[in-house]
A and B are shown apart, each in its own frame.
Chain A
Amino acid sequence: MKFKAMTAVAALLLSVPAMTLADPDEDALVVNGETEYVTETSAPAHLSDVLDTIYSGWRFREDETQALQMDDFDNPGMVFADLGLDQWNKVEGEAEKSCASCHGTPEESMKGVRAVYPKWNEAAQEVRTLAMQVNDCRETNMKAEPYKYTSTEMTNMEALISIQSRGMPVDVAVDGPVQATWEAGKEIYYTRYGQLELSCANCHEQNYGNMIRADHLSQGQINGFPTYRLKNAKLNQTHDRFRGCIRDTRGHTFEAGSPEFVALELYVASRGNGLSVEGPSVRN
């Protein structure tokens, strides 16, 4: 029997057993030997028709990667939160203030903040991400230059603020004034993008636990952001990752800080309602 070259190679590759279906593992995330985080819980009500259980991305990683997050001195993301603390205490801008001038210590003032972002800002009549709120404070109250949205400074600050919500359940609103933004985010989540015509749901809802080539697909939860990625050895924000994902569909991507990504972040955050805030987490 004879075969065409491409078909021949393809047939052989497909006949090699695919990596076994690798559901999220059973490990428990305990940090510093004391705090246990919720990495698995019932899906929030608005997902009841598509998911029963939601899992943190931590559960899909190899043991060695998981271990990196279990001690605050193993976790490479934590040094960037230290840098964030330096920024927190630094006086900047014409008003000659630092974050500390108004907010005291991060422990005092930022507890629980990250867990409810993105959220509605009544005065500005818009949904705000943490980064947007940080910059509003900088410009309005400190009279300082805003941080560039995906800059190291902004990511360090997000890490510092996220730590103050660690272990607390993600709890973003899905109705009330945010509803329109939430619906817009949901629509983006289910829209196919790019030459490969993939939506977030195709991978993260319909195929979590499977391998896409060499990657073990998670549910795409963002409770662990900002996350230290082994791949680029630095902290990454949600919008960074959204950009990467859409680029991977070979599509033109929205920009970090764009209304589309703000809406998507709100929607994706709500899919994780109930999981513990882990940021800064460690992922591949």
Chain B
Amino acid sequence: MEFTRRDTLALGMGAVALTVLPFRANAAADDAIAEFTGGAAMADTGVTLTAPEIAENGNTVPIAVEAEGAVAIMVLAAGNPTPGVATFNFGELAGAHSASTRIRLAGTQDVIAIAKMADGSFARASSNVKVTIGGCGG
């Protein structure tokens, strides 16, 4: 099969795009968010999500969430087979309303944190994490 230069570039750009786009945009993530927020609007400040830009290994990715004054923070992985990761419910004796953990990411995708504040409002943050596949990991 022979390609013109134009075809080659198109093929190549497509191949590159495949590695960086979320390999699965998950409608289930939107459902989970709607259930948590009741469809309410989400502010884009008020919750911070810390996640690496490139995960050293998708099996164990350290993340942290923080939202001052939040009652709960829900974390979703939009590109996983099921998007739920964890919901942190802060009790009366919580110190800073923050938590760190380690999660599994099945591929490059957005990790999303939704915080529910004490006044009933919501905040959203997301972070794109690249998960590489292949190497000589043994």
* A touching B, CB within 8 angstroms: yes
Query: B60 contacts which chain A residues (CB < 8 A)?
Result: 230-231, 233
Nearest CB on B from A21, distance (A): 16
A→B interface (CB under 8 Å) = 1-5, 8-9, 11-13, 16, 61-65, 67-68, 203, 211-215, 217, 229-233, 241, 243-245, 247-248, 284
**A12-B15, A64-B52, A214-B132 given; A231·B137 CB < 8 A:** yes
**Chain B residues within 8 Å of A244, by CB:** 137-138
CA distance A16 to B11 in the complex (A): 14
**Cβ contact within 8 Å between A284 and B3:** no
B135 within 8 A of A: yes
Interface residues of B in 19-57 (CB under 8 A from A): 52, 54, 56-57
The residue from A8, A11, A213, A230 contacting B135, defined by CB atoms under 8 A apart? A213
Specify the chain B residue showing the minimal Cβ separation from A243: B138
Report chain B residues within 8 Å CB of A245.
136, 138
Interface residues of B (CB under 8 A from A): 1-5, 7-9, 11-12, 15-16, 52, 54, 56-57, 59-62, 132-138
Contact (Cβ within 8 A) B136 A215: yes
Mostly helix, strand, loop or mixed at chain A's interface?
A: mixed
Chain B residue contacts of A4, Cβ below 8 A: 1-3
Contact between B12 and A12, CB atoms less than 8 A apart:
yes
Given contacts A1-B5, A5-B3, A64-B62, contact A16 B137 (CB under 8 A): no
Q: From known contacts A214-B133, A231-B137, infer whether A64 and B56 are also in contact, taking CB-CB under 8 Å.
A: yes
Of all chain B residues, the one with the shortest Cβ separation from A65 is B56
**Given A64-B52, A212-B136, A217-B136, 8 extra CB contacts under 8 A:** A5-B1, A8-B7, A64-B62, A65-B56, A203-B136, A211-B135, A241-B138, A243-B138
Query: A8 and B11 in contact (CB under 8 A), knowing A2-B4, A64-B56, A233-B59?
Result: yes
Name the 8 nearest CB pairs between A and B, nearest first: A244-B138, A215-B135, A12-B12, A214-B132, A230-B60, A230-B57, A214-B135, A8-B8
Q: Contacts A62-B52, A64-B52; is A248 near B136 (CB within 8 Å)?
A: yes
Instruction: Choose from A12, A62, A284 the contact partner of B137 (Cβ within 8 Å).
Output: A284
B3 touches A3 (CB 8 A): yes
Contact assessment for A231 and B3 in the assembled complex, using a CB-CB cutoff below 8 Å: no
Q: A8 and B136: CB pair below 8 A?
A: no
Question: Is the CB–CB distance between A231 and B57 below 8 Å?
Answer: yes
Q: A9-B11, A9-B12 are in contact. Are A215 and B5 (CB under 8 A)?
A: no
Among candidates B11, B54, B138, residue contacting A247 with C-beta atoms closer than 8 Å:
B138
